[in-house]
């Protein structure tokens, strides 16, 4: 396993990490969850990602119980939660000081830990002043309940405002952002955030590196039974596949499969290695509903030398979605 700094922080996070969205408490219960976490940890994965919004908190309950039973030394792993979607009542969602505080306490209980290593604002909240959220995060950090705080899918402007507020009031600024990043989704990581890496030392924990499985090639010939797009409750995801954009992605996934085969790689490995090739990526968060998938994905690291400049160019010729670099005058 390789380890990368989380932005400019001193925290070393495994290049491949593991998250439980869709899977824990939906596709797998405690037994398989322990096996998945164990397979990841044994391979050197040290970061496990979660959120209050995953299966209404039950994903954290499963992960917390698994971590408790696995009984790894607390200083050997990093665990996260995210705040935003805690419930239906007005005080149970968003980024108010109240909900940020309540959600942290609830996540600590569900995950059965004394502190969260990483705590993310799962989305921006336009109804809460950013200063209120920065102050709430700073308080939790001062109380030792959170070590590093960050954002997810915030705009560069919103992240910049959080830093400005933190600097003005000597509060702790965000360390990391959790954006979607994969062969189909590059705008934020390669475009919007480009000025933030050097200015603020922003770290990134990127999500859906396989575009929910599309970049494994498993949807090339239809929707397999038991796959994410066939799950009840995820019809919205299945619908995206039928959209014009989805059809375009599917056609590209088929073409990318050919490139991967030519390079002696699986599409899965090529897609993961492509994410890792970006040095602005601190960690690629894997998702897996089975241990075999997780082991397959972790094995991508053994083939990094096959992602040559020629293969990168062949990929670019298919996806054709590199964001414009920031203008220099």
Q: How many whole angstroms separate alpha carbon 86 and alpha carbon 51?
A: 9
Q: Shortest gap between Cβ of 168 and ligand NAP (angstroms)?
A: 27
Determine the straight-line distance between the first and last CA of the chain, rounded to whole angstroms.
41
Nearest to 46 by CA among 258, 223, 286: 286
Q: Is 297 in the site for ligand NAP (CB under 6 A)?
A: yes
Q: Is 20 in the site for ligand NAP (CB under 6 A)?
A: yes
Q: Is 46 in the site for ligand NAP (CB under 6 A)?
A: no
Q: Is 296 in the site for ligand NAP (CB under 6 A)?
A: yes
Q: Is 209 in the site for ligand NAP (CB under 6 A)?
A: yes
Q: Shortest gap between Cβ of 158 and ligand NAP (angstroms)?
A: 15
Residue count of the chain, please give it: 329
Which of 19, 94, 124, 150 is in the footprint of ligand NAP by CB under 6 A?
Answer: 19
Q: Is 152 in the site for ligand NAP (CB under 6 A)?
A: yes
Q: Is 57 in the site for ligand NAP (CB under 6 A)?
A: no
Q: Is 213 in the site for ligand NAP (CB under 6 A)?
A: yes
Q: How many whole angstroms separate alpha carbon 329 and alpha carbon 321?
A: 23
Q: Is 234 annotated in the active site?
A: no
Beta carbons of 273 and 311 less than 8 angstroms apart:
no
| CA-to-CA separations, 261 to 268, 307, 318, in angstroms, rounded | 11, 12, 15
Q: Shortest gap between Cβ of 79 and ligand NAP (angstroms)?
A: 11
Burial group, residue 240, by CB count within 10 angstroms (0-12, 13-18, 19+): middle
Nearer to ligand NAP, 237 or 318 (CB): 237
Q: Is 227 in the site for ligand NAP (CB under 6 A)?
A: yes
Nearest to 103 by CA among 132, 62, 137, 131: 137
Question: Per-residue string for binding with ligand NAP, 113-132, x by CB under 6 A?
Answer: --------------------
Q: Which of the residues are catalytic? A: 54
């Amino acid at each position: 396993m390789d380890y990368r700094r989380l932005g400019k922080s001193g925290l070393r996070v495994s290049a491949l990490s593991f998250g439980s969205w869709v899977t824990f408490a939906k596709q797998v219960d405690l037994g398989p969850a322990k096996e998945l976490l164990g397979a990841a940890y044994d391979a050197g994965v040290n970061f496990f990602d979660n959120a209050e919004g995953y299966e209404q908190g039950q994903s954290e309950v499963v992960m917390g119980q698994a971590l408790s039973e696995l009984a790894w030394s607390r200083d050997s792993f990093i665990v996260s939660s995210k705040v935003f979607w805690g419930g239906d009542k007005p005080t149970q969602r968003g980024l108010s000081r109240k909900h940020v505080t309540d959600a942290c306490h609830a996540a600590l209980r569900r995950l059965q830990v004394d502190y969260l290593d990483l705590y993310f604002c799962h989305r921006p909240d336009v109804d809460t002043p950013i200063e209120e959220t920065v102050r709430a995060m700073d308080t939790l950090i001062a109380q030792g309940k959170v070590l590093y705080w960050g954002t997810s899918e915030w705009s560069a402007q919103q992240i910049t405002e959080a830093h400005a507020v933190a600097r003005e009031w000597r509060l702790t600024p965000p360390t990391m952002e959790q954006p979607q990043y994969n062969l189909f989704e590059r705008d934020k990581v390669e475009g919007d955030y480009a000025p933030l890496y050097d200015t603020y030392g922003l770290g990134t924990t990127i999500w859906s590196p396989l575009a929910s499985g599309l970049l494994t090639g498993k949807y090339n010939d239809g929707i397999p039974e038991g796959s994410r797009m066939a799950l009840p409750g995820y019809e919205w995801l299945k619908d995206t596949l039928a959209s014009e954009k989805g059809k375009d992605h599917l056609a590209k996934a088929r073409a990318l499969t050919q490139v991967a085969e030519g390079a002696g790689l699986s599409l899965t490995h090529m897609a993961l290695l492509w994410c890792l090739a970006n040095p602005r990526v601190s960690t690629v968060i894997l998702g897996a509903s089975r241990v075999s998938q997780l082991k397959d994905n972790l094995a991508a690291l053994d083939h990094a030398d096959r992602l040559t400049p020629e293969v990168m160019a062949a990929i670019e010729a298919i996806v054709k979605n590199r964001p414009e670099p920031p203008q220099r005058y």
